[in-house]
């Protein structure tokens, strides 16, 4: 009965990941929470900055002490480098794990829209739950079915299976100068209302346009769609969400 009991404990969901050896080789099955925290730290620590406890807490809708404790745990797992009272940064392993999760999320979002008929404003929450349960094998099959896509429905780059991710330098529609010829590359919101509005007015990744005008004092930006010549006025708040790739002028 003892051998059996032992098998049990290992078969059941890993409570203590049973790390034999260094972290890298056969992935130790991170918990849903750990993956969420890693994603949060990834998104909050742009280029060398540290993610603060408070920002992580806000992003995950969790109390600050929970973050403190989790960061300590992530540090002992080697996924995060922590400076007490300052914040945390991902280690190489942590970054890889975060990118795996982000890849899963973005492939799922695209798959749900392309193959299962979901609108782009509804896929975020689905993907948020599925990303923790789906295996990389399924994700890779989905990616193949999607012809190895580079971007998710919102234009966010999809990390490759080996953990590299494109980083383009984009400008917000709100700040690009009048006269610029741009391509809308990325829409940085998950709010369904905004997404529906944007899609309803043709403002989706891939759109080419020219900035025809911008009113001062936080006023709207007017864009002219490139092939068609159609004109669209975009308010400041939305313009800030639209990240563009630019042929200058």
For the CB of residue 99, give the shortest distance to DNA in the complex, in Å: 19
Rg (CA), the chain: 21
- C-beta closer to a second copy: residue 9 or 19: 9
Of 133, 72, 74, 79, which Cα lies nearest the Cα of 108? 133
**Contact partner at residue 130 from a second copy, DNA, none, CB < 5 to 8 Å by partner kind:** a second copy
- C-beta closer to a second copy: residue 142 or 223: 142
Measured CA to CA, the distance from residue 100 to residue 134 in angstroms comes to: 11
For the CB of residue 5, give the shortest distance to a second copy in the complex, in Å: 7
Pairing of strands 171-172, 87-90: unpaired
- C-beta closer to a second copy: residue 146 or 236: 146
For the CB of residue 80, give the shortest distance to a second copy in the complex, in Å: 21
Q: Which residues bind DNA (CB under 7 A)?
A: 5, 8-9, 12-13, 15-16, 31-34, 36, 52-54, 57, 60-73, 82, 84-87
Q: How many residues bind a second copy (CB under 8 A)?
A: 25
For the CB of residue 25, give the shortest distance to a second copy in the complex, in Å: 20
**Contact partner at residue 94 from DNA, a second copy, none, CB < 5 to 8 Å by partner kind:** none
Neighbours of 11 (CB within 10 A): 8
- 135 lies in the binding site for a second copy (CB under 8 A): yes
On whether the CB atoms of residues 82 and 94 are closer than 8 A, the answer is: no
Measured CA to CA, the distance from residue 154 to residue 124 in angstroms comes to: 10
Cα 124 to chain center, whole Å?
A: 10
Restricting to residues 2-21, name those near a second copy by CB under 8 A. Answer: 5, 7-8, 11-12
Residue 89 pairs with which residues in a beta bridge?
Answer: 81
Where in the chain does DSSP place strands (E)? 80-83, 87-90, 171-172, 181-187, 208-214, 221-225, 231-234, 242-247
Using CB under 8 A, list all residues that contact a second copy: 5, 7-8, 11-12, 61-63, 112, 115-118, 126, 129-130, 132-135, 137-138, 141-142, 145
């Amino acid at each position: 009965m003892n051998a059996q009991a032992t098998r049990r404990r290992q078969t059941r969901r890993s409570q203590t990941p049973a790390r034999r050896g260094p972290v890298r080789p056969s992935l130790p099955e991170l918990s849903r929470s750990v993956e969420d925290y890693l994603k949060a730290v990834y998104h909050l620590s742009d280029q060398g900055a540290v993610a603060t406890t408070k920002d992580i807490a806000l992003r995950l809708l969790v109390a600050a002490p929970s973050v403190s404790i989790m960061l300590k745990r992530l540090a002992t797992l080697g996924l995060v480098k922590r400076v007490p009272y300052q914040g945390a940064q991902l280690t190489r392993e942590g970054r890889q794990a975060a990118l795996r999760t982000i890849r899963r999320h973005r492939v799922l979002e695209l798959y749900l829209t392309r193959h299962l008929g979901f609108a782009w404003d509804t896929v975020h929450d689905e993907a948020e739950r599925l990303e923790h349960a789906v295996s990389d094998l399924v994700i890779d099959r989905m990616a193949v079915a999607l012809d190895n896509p580079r971007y998710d429905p919102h234009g966010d780059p999809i990390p490759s299976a080996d953990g590299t991710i494109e980083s383009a330098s984009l400008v917000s529609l709100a700040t690009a100068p009048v006269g610029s010829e741009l391509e809308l590359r990325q829409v940085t919101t998950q709010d369904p209302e905004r997404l529906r509005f944007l899609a309803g007015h043709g403002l989706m990744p891939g759109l080419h346009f020219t900035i025809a005008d911008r009113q001062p004092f936080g006023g709207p930006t007017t864009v002219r769609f490139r092939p068609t010549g159609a004109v669209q006025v975009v308010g400041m708040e939305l313009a800030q969400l639209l990240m563009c790739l630019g042929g200058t002028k």
